[in-house]
Amino acid sequence: MDANTVVSAALNPGGIPRQALAAARARGVIVLSEAVYEEINEVLARPKCAFLKDLVVEISRKNRQI
């Protein structure tokens, strides 16, 4: 899973990237490399994506508890 797919999935709930993310998750745990995780954080730090950061952090916390 690359950073673009994760960010696109967050931006467009009905899009193909969200469907791909959901399908991957249904098959098991999604593992991201440190580089991909850092790229996601860099994108979310951009002013136009700031509204997504809290959502992604909350989802991440919930998934770690599962």
> Which of 18, 32, 27 is CA-nearest to residue 60?
32
Distance CA 60, CA 51 (A): 15
pLDDT confidence bin for 64, thresholds 50/70/90: low
User: pLDDT-based confidence at 15, cuts 50/70/90?
Assistant: very high
pLDDT at 4 over 60: yes
pLDDT tens string 29-50: 788 888 998 898 888 888 887 7
Q: Are 47 and 35 in contact (CB under 8 A)?
A: no
pLDDT of the residue at 57: 66
pLDDT score at 16:
94
